[in-house]
């Protein structure tokens, strides 16, 4: 085999690895974990940040790899997933399982070296995602509730990795991202409704693109906003943000709520996609504001 052919094989495998571990999703989850670490750490240690980053990526990548092994036949039915490595036949099940197991061991080992509690939450996240959320997706809309648990862990995990402690501060971070999961994933379930239907997945609370689903999206958006401004009032231990940061978070929340109301009025795939994009901007901006607020308060 020539050098060019070897390079092509390596590039192809790397692309399949990225697809198997859902690299873009993993990076967004990693962003949450790093934000949680920066909020919890008194002194930022580069080595710990690297270990958290690699360990967090392995944790998310392992969950996604196991998920794709389990759903390989269902992925063949959906347009957005039929070209993934397993349903397309580019990667064998044994290879995918080997990658998933290796990532699990590596990720949990790195997290344990940081904090035993962080490793415990990492293990809980993988278990909930693979053993509960994945099989429930074809059974009941409650799968989204179960999936919100591992989805909310990374923000909290960063704090726990920095402090090796679980108390009201990481609990608050968990609560924010937990409630945020519902409008975010229901918006995705709405604009990808037909594709999910082909795969037999129940992603919307009523199973339909109806007014009840839209109302629930609004309700959970309100809960997300309320949880996000709790740290303003000094009731969450050492996790605290200023009134200015609280107002910025509130304005972002109202923007997201506006998009949720638009979805209720129009009930279109376009309005659902707009809400999804705004929800991503919301959680990312919130985490940046929280971290920036801490840094600025230390300077003052």
Domain span at residue 98 reads 10-166
- Of 166, 184, 202, at which residue does a domain stop? 166
Radius of gyration of the chain, Cα coordinates, nearest whole angstrom: 20
Residue 42 DSSP code: S
Residues 63, 121 within the same domain: yes
Last residue of a domain, one of 166, 190, 207: 166
pTM of the predicted structure, to 2 decimals: 0.92
Q: Which domain CATH number covers 39?
A: 1.10.357.140
Same-domain pairing of 27 and 131? yes
Domain contains 181: yes
Q: Are residues 78 and 39 in the same domain?
A: yes
Could you read off the pLDDT of 68-112 as tens digits, one per residue? 999 999 999 999 899 999 999 999 999 999 999 999 999 999 999
Q: What tens digit of pLDDT does each residue of 271-293 get? A: 999 999 999 999 999 999 999 99
Q: Are 203 and 74 in contact (CB under 8 A)?
A: no
Question: Which of 117, 150, 166 is a domain's end point?
Answer: 166
* Whether residues 158 and 87 fall in one domain: yes
Structural domains of the chain, count: 2
Distance, in Å, from the CA atom of 121 to the CA atom of 109, rounded to the nearest integer, reads: 12
Neighbouring residues of 12: CB distance < 8 A, sequence distance ≥ 6: 90
| pLDDT above 90: residue 216 | yes
CA distance 25 to 59: 12
Helix residue ranges, H only, the chain: 3-21, 23-40, 46-70, 72-75, 93-114, 116-127, 134-136, 143-163, 168-191, 193-199, 211-229, 243-266, 269-299
112 and 192 belong to one structural domain: no
- In this predicted structure, the answer to whether residue 4 has a pLDDT above a threshold of 80 is no
Residues 130-188 have pLDDT tens digits of 999 999 999 998 999 999 999 999 999 999 999 988 999 999 999 999 999 999 999 99
């Amino acid at each position: 085999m020539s050098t060019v052919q070897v390079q092509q094989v390596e590039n192809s495998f790397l692309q399949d690895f990225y697809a198997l571990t859902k690299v873009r999703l993993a990076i967004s989850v990693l962003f949450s974990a790093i934000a949680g670490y920066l909020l919890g750490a008194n002194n930022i240690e580069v080595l710990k940040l690297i270990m958290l980053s690699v360990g967090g990526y392995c944790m998310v990548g392992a969950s996604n790899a196991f998920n794709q092994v389990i759903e390989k036949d269902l992925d063949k039915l959906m347009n957005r997933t039929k070209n993934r490595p397993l349903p397309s036949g580019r990667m064998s099940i044994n290879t995918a399982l080997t990658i998933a197991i290796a990532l699990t061991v590596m990720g949990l080992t790195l997290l344990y070296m940081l904090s035993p509690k962080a490793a415990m939450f990492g293990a809980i996240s993988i278990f909930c995602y693979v053993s509960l959320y994945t099989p429930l997706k074809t059974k009941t809309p409650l799968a989204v509730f179960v999936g919100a648990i591992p989805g909310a862990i990374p923000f909290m995990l960063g704090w726990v990795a920095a402090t090796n402690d679980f108390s009201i501060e990481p609990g608050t971070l968990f609560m924010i991202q937990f409630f945020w999961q519902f409008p975010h994933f229901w918006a995705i379930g709405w604009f990808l409704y037909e594709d999910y239907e082909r795969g037999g997945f129940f992603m919307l609370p009523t199973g339909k693109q109806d007014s009840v689903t839209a109302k629930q999206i609004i309700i959970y958006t309100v809960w997300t906003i309320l949880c996000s401004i709790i740290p303003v009032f000094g009731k969450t231990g050492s996790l605290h943000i200023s009134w200015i940061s609280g107002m910025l978070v509130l304005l972002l929340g109202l923007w997201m709520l506006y998009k949720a109301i638009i979805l209720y009025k129009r009930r279109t795939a376009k309005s659902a996609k707009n809400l999804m994009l705004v929800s991503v901007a919301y959680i990312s901006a919130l985490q940046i504001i929280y971290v920036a607020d801490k840094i600025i308060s230390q300077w003052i």
